């Protein structure tokens, strides 16, 4: 499966989650009555320069234009975002993104399940030279030692293509055509893959 899009981020671009980064409306590890999730089940290409698409819900009033979708953080505590209306179980996610500037602003691409398994990329607004790759399993955030930082070429001034390629055996993170991290199931922390 392929998902791709162009984003001018000023806060967060999020896949398969709701308004909080580690939130699940129904965690199947805690309830047997969770509804089935809608699977993508095919490849899609999203071009946000053409406007909003019906496979994403938004919060925080994003705008659409020649740079794609733009998010604005006007006050402390705001976290505008897009949430996919589908789930993937393995696949390739591509995004062309210009990260937001500003101390305290985090642009992110998050793949998250209802059980709070998470694969993500994060860009800190105070540092235009790095992106962080990360993963969590079952919402376990007792330690934050799973992240790695990767150099980028001024990610706040130009659009850069990022890829998360996820299979049952490994996750590959790519920045601007260069593989920056490969995480195998065997290398992941216990119960974290």
- DSSP one-letter code for 153: S
| 50 three-class SS | helix
Ordered DSSP codes for 4-48:
EEEEE-SS-EEES--SSTT--SS-TTT-S-PPPPPB--S-----G
Catalytic site includes residue 169: no
Helices within the chain (DSSP H only):
none
**Tokens representing residue 70 in the block:** 């733009």
Which position among 118, 130, 169, 187 bears the catalytic label?
118
For the chain, helix (H) and strand (E) counts, in that order, are 0, 14
Q: How far apart are CA 113 and CA 130, in angstroms?
A: 26
Residues annotated as catalytic are: 118, 122
């Amino acid at each position: 499966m392929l998902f791709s899009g162009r984003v001018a981020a000023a806060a967060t671009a999020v896949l398969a989650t709701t308004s909080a980064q580690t939130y699940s409306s129904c965690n199947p590890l805690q309830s047997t009555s969770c509804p089935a999730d809608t699977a993508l089940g095919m490849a899609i290409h999203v071009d946000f320069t053409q406007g909003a698409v019906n496979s994403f819900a938004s919060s925080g009033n994003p705008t659409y234009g020649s740079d794609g979708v733009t998010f604005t953080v006007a006050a402390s505590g705001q976290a505008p975002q897009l949430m996919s209306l589908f789930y993937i179980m393995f696949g390739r996610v591509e995004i062309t993104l210009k990260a937001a500037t500003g101390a305290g602003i985090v642009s992110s691409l998050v793949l998250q399940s209802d059980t709070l398994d998470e694969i993500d990329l994060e860009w800190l607004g105070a540092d235009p030279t790095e992106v962080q790759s990360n993963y969590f399993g079952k919402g376990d955030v007792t330690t934050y030692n799973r992240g790695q930082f990767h150099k980028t070429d001024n990610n706040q001034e130009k659009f850069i293509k990022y890829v998360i390629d996820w299979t049952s055996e490994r996750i590959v993170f790519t920045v601007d055509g260069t593989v920056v991290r490969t995480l195998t199931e065997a290398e992941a922390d216990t119960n974290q893959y």
